[in-house]
Amino acid sequence: MPEIDRRNFLKIVGVGGAAAGATTLAGCSYPETYLVSSLTHPADDSIPGVPIYYATTCRECPAGCGLLATVREGRVIKVEGNPAHPISRGTSCALAQASLQGLYNPDRIRGPLARDGQGGFRQITWDEALKTLVDRLAELRRTGRGRAVFLTGQLSGSLDKLIDTWLARAAGGGRALAWEPITTGPLVAATRLAFGVEEVPRFDFARARYLVSFGADFLETWLTPVEQARGFAAMHAFDGRTRPGVFVAVEPRRSLTGSNADEWIAPRAGTEGLVALAMAHVIVNENLGPSRARPSDALRRALDAYSPQAVAAEADVPAETIERLARDFAQARPSLAVGGGAAAQGPTATATLVAVHVLNAVAGNVGETVLLGAGERRGGIASGKEMVDLVQAMNGGEVPALFVYGANPAYDTPAGLGFADAMAKVPFKVSFSSYLDETTARCDLVLPDRHFLESWGDAVPRDGVYGLVQPAMNPVADFDARPIGDVLIGSARASGEAIAAAFPQESFEAYLKAEWQALKERVEPRGDFEAWWRQALQRGGVFVDPPSGRRADLSAEVARALPPLAAPSLGEGDLTLVVYPSPNFRDGRGANRPWLQELPDPVTKITWWSWVEMHPETAARLGVRVGQEVQLDEGRGVLLPFPTNRSAIVSDVVALETPQGRIEAPVYLNPHIRPDTVAVALGQGHEQFGRYAQNRGTNPMRVLPATVEAESGAFTFVTKVKVSKTGTRRGLASIAGADDQRGRNIYKSISVADAEKGTVVAHDLSAIPGPAMLPPVAQDVPYHWGMTIDLDRCTGCQACVVACYAENNLPVVGEAQVARGREMSWIRIERYWEPDGTVTHAPMLCLHCGNAPCEPVCPVFAAYHNPEGLNGQVYNRCVGTRYCGNNCPYKVRYFNWYDYSRESYNGKPNPAYAFPAPLHLQLNPSVTVRGVGVMEKCTMCIQRINAAKDLAKDQGRRVRDGEFQTACAQACPTEAIVFGNLKDPESRVAKLRASPRNYAVLEELETVPSVTHLAKVTFAEAPAAGRGPEAKAH
Amino acid sequence: MATTTIGTPAPKTTTFETMSRLSYRAVNETVLQALKAPGRGWYILFLIDLAVLAVGVLAFANQLTTGLGVAGYAPPVMWATYITTFVFWVGIAHSGTLISAILYLFRARWRTSVYRVAEAMTVFAVMTAGLFPLIHVGRPWVAYWLLPYPSQGHVWPNFKSPLVWDVFAVSTYFTVSATFFVVGLIPDIAAARDASTGWRRRLYGILALGWRGSNREWHHYSRAYMFLAAFATPLVLSVHSVVSWDFAMGIVPGWHATIFAPYFVAGAIFSGCAMVLTLVIPARKIFGVEEIITVDHLEALAKLCLFTGTIVGFSYSVEFFTAWYSGNPFERGQFWFRATGDYAVGFWTMVTCNVIIPQLTLWFKPLRRNIPFLFFISIVINIGMWFERYVIIVLSLGHDFVPFAFGSRTQYVISPTELAILVGSFAWFGMFFLLFIKFLPWVSLTEVKEVLPPPLKERTAAGGGH
Amino acid sequence: MTRQRVGVGLAVAIPVIVLAAFLTGAIWGPPVGPTQPIAYSHRIHAGQYQIQCQYCHYTAEQSSWIDVPPVEVCMGCHRITAADRPEVQKLQKYWNEKRPIPWVRVHFLPEHAKFNHKRHVKAGFACQTCHGPVEQMDVVYQYSSLSMNWCINCHNGNNELNKKASVDCLTCHY
């Protein structure tokens, strides 16, 4: 009988369901398994089988959203947005959902590491590790002359302060730099130049009536995406009360954010600012702005130069378009212009953003939708300039010690900088990273930090929003990690009396509490701290009204900060490369999460690899081919290593070259990019960082120069490149079968005018017999579960997709399988390029048809209809004929081609196993892990439905509307997905279903779905964007 | 009525010219000599056959342990080679019953020489087809759930599901045709018994069920035979209609069509007759029975192919017409896709093999009577008919309603596993056929004799054991 | 003639007897449970000393699924009670070494099926309804088949309370 510790216990209880799921042979004898008793009652008084929730704060990006961690049997199995948190308001994003796979990542560092002789690492104990650290610190204090450097990600809160103290005292002085490749530096600089305040303003999207984004990907990575998505939905989605605002995207490559725009304008890269100024020019000349927004004469004079005609030539945007935009922008009050993304990381980044500020100012938006002094704490990121200096210092041997935490500069700085090489010149390098990323791999000492779901901390993204991070579970037993705070404090306290005195608390937890005691004095002097603290822990922090923000006048010198009237020179080359942050991986930090790798890019729908986005015309000019080709998969057999053929979309691999370097990637034909521009996403091409990220795709940083922009010192993400065919070809695992609707108008859209008239989108099918002939949903049952999906609210962010993976134990199948259409994603976002130049993002999942085509064809009632309107799929009745999958017109049924739930076949590891330890600890115990050979599909989170009904029964009542949601609906930042009881006329979903925009997808098939869609609302009057969908749909 | 037009003009005269020279004894000897101990050639053939079968079995074992992933399925194409091959073999089975039962009822005398082979083919083909649903499903070990049996759990098969109809149709068909086959054999086995010695004699003795050839036995025999023929006749139409409903009952564009039943039946007989030709032409040469299975018989089969082939060709055009005429964008999309899309090669292979080549040749008598050519075209037709099912299944699934879910991003390509199993299925069929031809009288002595002039006094009347 | 009759008689009788024997378990006798790391006897605790099931299995009416009690619960009594018994000393050994006890799983619910303890306890069913006369078992064995037929049979109202319950598949299969 094997030795059983707590960890195996978790394995058994946790994957008991999974293991069972794997043994599909009915009636076979069960292997001897154990019910291992815990020693004592759980510390948190939790009851096995009953989930408990901990409020905490997400650390996956600097936005600082609040989270609720769902804990079952001592394991976090899911995260949701914290409804009490003012930024996320109960919703979340794909990265937050995937934080679980950071926690249980099989490639997390298992314990402290030190360099061994031959270039590798060796495991050491924490005592050794701390001793080494303390000794080196002592040496540092003697010889370091205060030149130590501590690189962190953007931190806001106590840890930030602790690091400063620690550097000053324990490390004998030094600098702390917060490095984020996706920087707010230019925005801060521009705000200083334009308004004389050095900060990030707050942008009130919700109030804007007309929104122009100059490259800002505010739905993806820019500032605080979840909050902005909510604001965007409020201003742009049709609610039947107020006329929706217009959104125009001005960017050379149409991002996911841009794909939500009613109009896309594609200026030359780097000329976005000129377009903004030309708009300002028109507003000022035609005197369209409000009187209080009159510009100074100096500015007037400066603006004269930027006439639409003059700019049109430089920016390659018709003057009429600019004039039209300017007029609409000024008339709609308040409007809002934001600048970011590649536009804010070019050679004229700051000037561009100054131009955007000027545009806002002359249109009278400052103080309305652009709020200064609103207490945003999103600045303070180290500039490229500072990094250049740092690298020089490192090369010059001027940096005796480098400490890295939450940053990966060896990967995410431009190749021209040569950070990785410079690290070799630093005698002592310490990483606190939990993963063996490129930077950590080059360090001498690795002191793995705990995941944020295991540790204490806080985050203050905005004055008034004080978020707490608290451990939601005991540390994952596989990993011997310690919180960086404790390590810093411990090392300091071990460095002699004098230093120890500066660190009165023994642990970071205590330190944090002390900090919050001070905070309490500020925000709520009265009352007992412990009670206040406990309440803060329950709510996930302390939230008081943030500063409302004020208006400000343009500074006198602003005229001098405007961009020169000429497209900036971007170096030598034939095409312009735009490097953009990946919506899935951000700057690459998400690349080691299998969910995010399998999550299709929201625009190209490609998984697991990098690609070069190229306009079809350009591809034709370069003779780049994209087409069908037969390839061989790796063998998957157990008895025989049979390879299997597959024929997939294969495209030419092109090389992008600059003086700094060369990258190669297959081409993806994108009609929504300028023909003179190519684009590559950040985030892939890791050399380290674990099995899921390593040697996958390419890292565009390798071709970027280290040139920095003058004002803000930010690196540039835009450069000219030489593009050449390599002669090789490669397949890309895309989930898109077609890029347009083929005129089938399955996902409907109507004009604002019609929507306001209340035009009914659905056809009246009552005349046709059909549903009438069917047994309706059982009458004696109080529930009919249903859903509405508002195509006008969906931004395509795909948070719902990852949420579904997390909630329903969906297996990750890998690139080769996705390339064969075998992904298991129960919900997918279909992306269509429409003839009118807009883009439709259509969530598609099992619609739980009342007249389901899948049900009658199942020979064994595995697919059947349940009294509450659900289309049930009974796994252990399923024989696997797959007829249901064929007969489903929506193609939302997924088959288990391999046994993803089984670790090994009698000793031989199963290549298809989807949950390598400890990833299996994340599995939701309430959901079966499906075995081989059965069909599966969206269950509308039946486990949540049953749990809610169970609770309601205990309390002798019915389930209330909004009491619970499906995982997808709960994650959705824009509330595009609404779930509820259709039989309750007061429920939100019932009301939405009554909307004239409500219709059933493929209604002509009379499937009578419980999940219906609401038609997208388009601005018929807004002319189609420059380039329609002439994309060759593969 | 198709069969009459073919049955009646069956060239009696020529048949008699060629066959009347035979005495009953001659018939017995020529046919029964096939039952002599197998020679080296047969053994080599049989071993090769078993080897091929073994590969198929191994491939299936691998699929069983690993999962269906080793097959080439590329969703939305979730049915492919296995179902294609299932329909193919069921189709093959049909002409057997047509020739043995329907033509019997229509007294088409030319059938006598070939019916035994056809009937054997039917039985073996159904036995082959029956394997494929099991190979195809995700969890074969619970496939028995498709059978209705009472249980406390109150779970029955779903009688609405065409797949359940299939289970009934195919199993019924197998039972009936097997019975028909065995009953038909009795008198001939008796003849074989009388002609053989040793253990064979004992074996045949048992199989002959003590047949003495008495008048009373003959009387009952012919009644039973007639009855079974009548019983089998409707199955020819019903079974493949049911198989066609596996598709026609679905809503998939390209499946959901009323034409499917007749279209499939015609197709089945088309491929079936082709298969009979493929089997008979070499066999009659090897065992030297050209006098019994004459070119006239082959031509009659060729005519049957021509006729059914024409129906099939017509059905293809009707499908396209309805797709266009319906104005249904999904139907239109599907058929445009068939002719021009990712899998167009499969479609055009089908058209060439099933329509173009047969229509261009079989109308001409010289070609119909050219035996090497008949052999060639029988192979062509078999290939074409396999592709017909492939086109119906794979192409329809690859391109249905929601464009984003089209299969075009990754095509279905047959995998080595599927190929091995497909070829293995032919070996499986071949195994039974080789055994049959060696151990059972493969031409019906009884019925051939029926069409011979009765043994008259002046002739040496030694009518074998009868 | 008579011999034939006997033959026929036997041909009928033998299968019937075998079947009957099989059904009554006369051949194999009562089922035997697995040997546990500690020879804990429900007969003594639940039977002799009349300790309520839920004193130890306290989560049964609070949670959808029930867990074996923490060692702490055992130690509640056995710090003092019967501390001299060898089996109790085994228990204390586990406790002192801070090692959890690897009880061998006795009940196997078929995979892909869920059973909600709370609902059944709250519905007022005795533990014995499914678990059998545990108070008489020295070694606990799986008393009920836990097969779907068994579940459905009870859900159809064939139980001591004549309560009917949902037989919708999704009640247990998800």
Answer yes or no: do C72 and A26 touch at CB < 8 A. Answer: no
Q: What is the DSSP string of A691-705?
A: TTTBT-S--GGGG--
* Neighbours, chain B (3 or more CB pairs < 8 A): A, C
**Who among A13, A21, A40 is closest to C111 (CB)?**
A21
**CA-CA distance, A644 to B73, in Å (whole number)?**
10
Non-local CB neighbours of A554 within 8 Å, separated by 6+ positions: A194, A195, A295, A296, A299, A357, A358, A361
ipTM score for this prediction: 0.87
User: DSSP string of A749-797?
Assistant: EEEHHHHHHT---S---TTS-SGGGSPPSPTT-S--EEEEEETTT----
CA nearest B75 in A: which residue?
A821
> Considering only residues 337 to 366 of chain B, which have any Cβ-Cβ distance to chain A shorter than 8 Å?
342
The pLDDT score that the predictor gives to residue B444 is 75
Chain C residues 37-96 with CB within 8 Å of chain B:
none
The residue of chain A with its CA nearest to that of B140 is A879
Contacts of A736 in chain B (CB under 8 A): 404, 409
**Which 3 state secondary structure label does DSSP give B133?**
helix
Instruction: Tell if the CB–CB gap between B138 and A879 is shorter than 8 Å.
Output: yes
Backbone angles phi, psi at B325, to 5 degrees: -70, -35
Q: How long, in residues, is chain B?
A: 466
Q: Are the CB atoms for A704 and A580 separated by under 8 Å?
A: no
Contacts of A775 in chain B (CB under 8 A): none
Of residues C25 and A835, the one with the higher pLDDT is A835
Judging contacts by C-beta atoms under 8 Å, the chain B residues touching residue A23 are: none
- pLDDT digits 0-9 by tens, A625-664: 887 665 655 555 455 555 555 566 788 999 999 999 999 9
**CB nearest B402 (choices: A26, A881, A890):** A890
C-alpha distance from A980 to closest chain C C-alpha (Å): 18
**What tokens does A345 get?**
């990381």
H or E segment to which residue B18 belongs: helix B12-19
Contact across the interface for A41 and C70, Cβ inside 8 Å: yes
DSSP string, A636-686: --SSS----EEEEEEEEEEEEEETTEEEEEEEEE-SSB-TTEEEEESS--B
When mean pLDDT is compared over A422-431, B282-291, C27-36, the highest value belongs to: A422-431
Confidence at residue C21, expressed as pLDDT on a 0 to 100 scale: 66
Distance CA A414, CA A420 (A): 10
A13, A39, A934, A949: best to mutate for the C interface, most C CBs within 10 A: A39
Interface of C with A (CB under 8 A): 34, 37, 59, 62-72, 95, 98-105, 108, 110-114, 116, 118-119, 122, 168-171, 173-174
Mutate to test the interface with B, among A881, A900, A937 (most CBs of B within 10 A): A881
Half-sphere exposure of B113 (CA within 13 A, CB side): 29
Distance from CA of B156 to the nearest CA of C (A): 13
Q: Report the half-sphere exposure of A512 (CA within 13 A, side-chain side).
A: 24
Interchain CB contact of C164 with B (< 8 Å): no
B positions 19-48 inside 8 Å of A (CB)? none
In this predicted structure, what is the pLDDT of residue A274?
A: 94
Residues B402, B393: Cα–Cα separation, whole Å: 17
What does the pLDDT read at residue A934? 94
Query: What is the amino acid identity at position A957?
Result: R
Q: How far is C152 from chain A (nearest CA, A)?
A: 15
Return the structure tokens found at A427.
């005698």
The CA-atom distances, in angstroms, between B167 and each of A408, A880, B136, B438 are 61, 15, 14, 31
pLDDT at residue B13 greater than cutoff 50: no
**pLDDT exceeds 80 at position B14:** no
- List, as own/partner pairs, every contact residues B260-267 make where C-beta atoms lie below 8 angstroms and the sequence separation is at least 24, other chains included: B262/B311, B262/B315, B263/B311, B263/B312, B263/B315, B264/B87, B264/B91, B264/B240, B265/B94, B265/B236, B265/B237, B265/B240, B265/B241, B266/B308, B266/B311, B266/B312, B266/B315, B267/B91, B267/B240, B267/B308, B267/B312, B267/B315, B267/B385, B267/B388
- Quote the minimal CA–CA distance from A970 to chain B in Å: 25
Distance in angstroms (rounded) separating the CA atoms of residues C147 and C144: 8
Binary contact (A856, B160; C-beta < 8 A) = yes
Query: Do the chains contact at A48 and C71, CB–CB below 8 Å?
Result: no
Q: Cβ–Cβ of B154/C148 closer than 8 Å? A: no
Q: Which chains touch C (3 or more CB pairs under 8 A)?
A: A, B
The widest CA-to-CA distance across chain A, in whole angstroms, is 90
DSSP character string of B305-354: HHHHHHHHHHHHHHHHHHHHHH--HHHHHHHHHHHHSTTHHHHHHHHIII
Identify the bridge partners of residue A681 per DSSP, sorted by sequence position. Answer: A580
- Angstrom distance (rounded) from CA A960 to CA A47: 24
Q: Which residues of C touch A782 (CB under 8 A)?
A: none
- H or E stretch covering A460: strand A457-462
Check CB contact under 8 Å for B139 and A890: no
> What does the pLDDT read at residue C28?
58
| A23 with C111: Cβ contact below 8 A | yes
Across the interface, whether the CB atoms of A48 and C59 are under 8 A apart is answered yes
Per DSSP, the three-state class of A163 is helix
The answer to whether the CB atoms of B138 and A819 lie below 8 A apart is no
Kindly list the residues from chain A whose CB atom is less than 8 angstroms away from the CB atom of residue B400: 889, 891
In this structure, of A157-161, B27-31, B347-351, B452-456, the range with the lowest mean pLDDT score is B452-456
Q: Which of A252, A261, A251, A299 is nearest to A277 (CA)?
A: A299
The answer, yes or no, to whether residue C35 has pLDDT greater than 90, is no
The more confident residue out of B188 and A429 is: A429
What pLDDT digit, counting tens, does each position of A321-332 carry? 999 999 999 998
B409 and A737 in contact by Cβ < 8 A?
yes
Given a cut of 90, whether residue C63 has pLDDT beyond it is: no
Beta-carbon contacts of residue A190 (< 8 Å; ≥ 6 apart): A339, A350, A351, A352, A353, A354, A356, A357, A561, A711, A712
Q: Do the chains contact at B416 and A638, CB–CB below 8 Å? A: no
More reliable by pLDDT, B4 or A154 = A154
- Which pair of tokens denotes residue A493? 């306290």
**Nearest in space to B385 (alpha carbons), one of B270, B254, B235:** B270
B151:C149 CB<8 A: yes
Interface contact B153, partner A, CB < 8 A = no
Quickly state the pLDDT bin for C3 (edges 50, 70, 90): low
Which candidate from A887, A891, A934 shows the least CB-CB separation from B251?
A: A887
Instruction: Using an 8 Å CB-CB cutoff, list chain A residues near C171.
Output: 946
Which residues in chain B have their CB less than 8 angstroms from residue A746's CB? 401-403
Which is nearest to B353 in space by CA: B270, B419, B432? B270
How many Å apart are CA B105 and CA A463, to the nearest integer? 95
* Residue contacts between A and B (CB atoms, under 8 Å): 238
Res A1025: pLDDT: 38
Q: Which residues contact B376 (CB under 8 A, 6 or more apart)?
A: none
Name residues of chain A where pLDDT drops below 70. Answer: 1-32, 628-648, 765-778, 1020-1034
- A977's CB contacts (< 8 A; 6+ apart) are A787, A788, A789, A790, A794, A800, A843, A966, A968, A969
- DSSP string of B110-128, one letter each residue: GGHHHHHHHHHHHHHHHHH
